[in-house]
Chains A and B, each alone.
Chain A
Amino acid sequence: MKEKLVVIGNGMAGMRTVEELLEIAPEKYDITVFGAEPYGNYNRILLSPVLAGEKTIDEIMLNDLQWYEDNKITLYKGVTVTGIDRSACKVIADDGTEVKYDRLLMATGSEPFIIPVPGSDLPGVISFRDIHDVDLMIDAAKTKQHAVVIGGGLLGLEAANGLMKQGMSVTVVHLMDWLMERQMDRVSGDMLRKSLEAKGMNFMLKASTKEIVGKGKVQGVRFEDGSELAADIVVMAVGIRPNIKLAKQVGLHCERGIVVNDTLQTFDPKIYSVGECVQHRGLTYGLVAPLFEMAKVCANHLAGYGIGIYKGSVTSTKLKVTGIDLFSAGDFTGDTTTEDIVVHDSHQGIYKKIVIKDNKILGAVLYGDTIDGAWYFQLMREQTNISDIRSHLMFGKAHLGDSGHGGNVVADMSDDTEICGCNGVCKGDIVKAITSKGLFTLEEVRAHTKASSSCGSCTGLVEQIMESTLGGDYATPESKPMCGCTDHTHDYVRQAIRDQKLVKISDVFTALKWKTDDGCAACRTSLNYYLISTWPKEARDDSQSRFINERAHANIQKDGTYSVIPRMWGGMTTPVELRAIADVAEKFNLDTVHVTGGQRIGLYGVKKEELPLVWKDLNEKGLVSGHAYGKALRTVKTCVGREWCRFGTQDSTAIGIKLEKLTWGSWMPHKFKMAASGCPRNCAEATIKDFGVVCVDSGYELHIGGNGGVKVRATDLLTRVDTEEEVLEYAAAFVQLYREEARYLERTAPWIERVGFSYVKESLVDDAEKRKSLAERFKYSQEVTRSQDDPWEQRATGGVDAHEFVPLKVIG
């Protein structure tokens, strides 16, 4: 028999937990939900746009009644739970319903705080919390003129904006010196006030409410200084309090909220709690992103998996008032131990302030131009050392060598602007999917729209669209799990592989409690790489956990045929090799022969069954795999250098060949390209490669982290060395550092931006011992994996993976 789970509270936190739970343990519980409001689950964050007339109630529903039915959840809507009998394990509701539970989830949310002044119970005093409140305000706006909103915080300003849009004249009354003082400093708070005044909103700052006056209904507000303001309605938006009435009544330990541990369990082990009602490590939260993080962890424990802990959340804020851009996160005030970087353009209405301590971002306030908010927030949460990018920081991510999509402002884009160029997804498609399907995470948007699911270069744009559609508090997880099969991050999994000496994929699944039996295409390929790169001798390559190109040692094309690109060391070839390629092309009717960007020749249209035959012919003339299909060294591009060129300073072709002979065949997190130019004219384009050598008269400049693809990024100059031996040692060490520390499918450019160029430089240049041991480990890995035994030859004549290339059976 299934266990019984009862959920008190039909809001976003409770239902998100249920959704997460259904995903990982759909058969574990009979679920019953009590909700005091007479609706399904709706997106409370979007009440402000509803009040402003920009959305309808239907548009903000997350789970309609059909959803409860489809998932066999018993929903008691409009029913309030009035008691819990903890010894008999049952809840009691106001309509007399009693339901027994094995596990109870309290997600009672919060309630608006009403300041206890005389008159606060008069008709016409409204809070701003649920659909009912919004209905009251919209009704009032139809017949009444003057609204006073008490509270100049996020909620108060959104309420005031909505009422103004509904045609009322609105005055916001605020106790403090400037608006949103918990999210803004004085400068940005004043800029916000001016923008809102220009829209027609009125303000009374430093105003302390003494009494709400009126006979039988609200007529005005009286202040401590004796002045009065006429009002037909008064909206109280001074804050929220965790709703802990029921929890307290039944003796659960509460302080400001229901106290929970890192697994979201209350002091009663059968009772869990998530959302705005909880107090975790001394903090309570009122934004959606933390609720979702809690939901994920709580669902995992309810499912009985017992992994994952909630460590608290770092939050950011964005105001949902159309035409006002502000962003705030972390500690934006600072103290004597912190430094500020400030840009203030009062003419354009732009203000940016970043607070820094020990080269890490502590907090930020942005006003007028918030496009980089998500980026600063990410740098802040990941505690990235910003010393390398400090001089560019204020100008945003677009100025970090990102000439791809950077600099576009999604808010200004029309709905038919193409966002994802790979899959042809427009802005309107994404917005529609987010609102109509109730999406909250990047993964959900990827699954439903395919945007950002191919090359990933538009991920930032998609995140911005999510932010502008959902508000700033959309769920960016603290750290992204590897895939849906686990809650662990790439870095965590890799560390576990190292620490626990895991050498098989199945060992990883067991040790880290994978949620699926076989993993998926994303995690299996990553794990296979982490295992063979961490334990080159002990781990065995699992070909079924490789993408087809690496399994077949050729690139699959869209018609199901393959391409074959032999290696040409350092871009050099011979008449014999060219003749062999020409012969193969004729013999197998390969009409398309293409010179690649990396100085190789590609043959296209090879049938899979014929691959071993093509390889055999090429092998006989000395040609081997060019790994154009692999996460591995692709090519080393060179110029002819000193041997021929009148400007050449060193033998760049020779160094290119040596680099290629050193590193080919090694599996890496992603593809890896090199180049060697004979002089600073740099004809081999070494400064957009993963590792580039530019010869100069006195020696060799070594460059790293370039990219000519999705996002053009010029290399960073690592160092200058005198001899070829040093070039080779640095190359081996750099490749090995990348192999050991970058995440699977992370190119060198984003990896270096993530860990910081200084870190890489310290590891390779300043620490000669580390460099030498990295280079040693690289050579060891090359030797023990026999990675330079040509994979084509093994398959053409060595009998490896024969089943891969012949049909199981031919019928008819």
Chain B
Amino acid sequence: MSNWIEVGKIEDIPPLGARVVKNGNVDIAVFRNNKNEVFAVNDECPHRKGQLSQGIVHDKSVTCPLHNWKIDLTTGEAMGPDEGCTGHYQVKVEQGVIFLEL
């Protein structure tokens, strides 16, 4: 059963930026790229748990601020030679409002 939760408006997130949604004990990083696509993954790098929401966003990926791992925002998977995965969430944007499937 899908449970779509409204988390905010797209303009609340700067282009090529991220914000955090606190879902109980879990932090979810919500990203917006330059094409106004929105992605959501657990705010925890599979490497050393760096906060991905604090990284630099490019295309559909983010570079972790701790050790420069690159994470694919569509899947939560580490890119390139690195291996690991953080959970990702379904996202929809309707009339500028962002919903996460939780």
Contacts and interface: CB of A to CB of B under 8 A. Distances in A.
A803 interface: yes
B1 to A, nearest CB: 17
Interface in A501-545: 516-521, 524-525, 543-545
Interface stretch (A93-101, A364-372, A447-455, A572-580): A447-455
Contact of A558 (B17, B24, B59, B66): B66
A560 B22 CA distance: 14
Contacts, number: 88
A573 B72 CA distance: 47
Contacts of A450: 67
A807 B81 contact: no
Nearest to B56: A521
Interface in A539-580: 543-545, 547-548, 551-552, 556, 558, 560
A709 interface: no
Interface in B1-57: 5, 7-8, 12-17, 19-24, 30, 33-34, 48-51, 54-57
A587 interface: no
Contact of B54 (A519, A520, A543, A556): A556
Contacts of A525: 56
Given A448-B81, A518-B33, A548-B65, A808 B56 contact: no
Nearest to A551: B54
Nearest to A437: B81
B22 A809 contact: yes
A467 B63 CA distance: 30
Contact of B15 (A521, A544, A803): A544
Interface residues of A, number: 30
Nearest to B25: A812
Which residue, of A454, A516, A548, has the highest number of chain B Cβ atoms within 10 A?
A548
Contact of B56 (A547, A552, A556, A558): A547
B23 A812 contact: yes
B-side binding surface: helix, strand, loop or mixed?
A: loop
B74 interface: no
A572 B81 CA distance: 48
A560 B51 contact: yes
A784 interface: no
A515 to B, nearest CB: 11
B20 A544 contact: no
Given A808-B8, A808-B30, A809-B7, A519 B23 contact: no
Given A448-B81, A521-B56, A521-B68, A811 B30 contact: no
A810 interface: yes
A803 B22 contact: no
Contacts of B68: 453, 521
A518 B65 CA distance: 17
Contacts of A547: 56, 65
25 contacts: A516-B58, A517-B34, A518-B16, A518-B33, A518-B58, A521-B56, A545-B56, A547-B65, A548-B54, A551-B54, A556-B65, A556-B66, A560-B50, A803-B13, A803-B14, A807-B19, A807-B21, A808-B19, A808-B20, A808-B30, A809-B7, A809-B8, A809-B22, A810-B22, A811-B22
Interface of B: 5, 7-8, 12-17, 19-24, 30, 33-34, 48-51, 54-59, 63, 65-68, 80-81, 102
Sorted nearest first, the 9 A-B pairs with minimum C-beta distance are: A808-B19, A521-B63, A518-B58, A521-B56, A548-B54, A544-B16, A809-B7, A810-B22, A548-B65
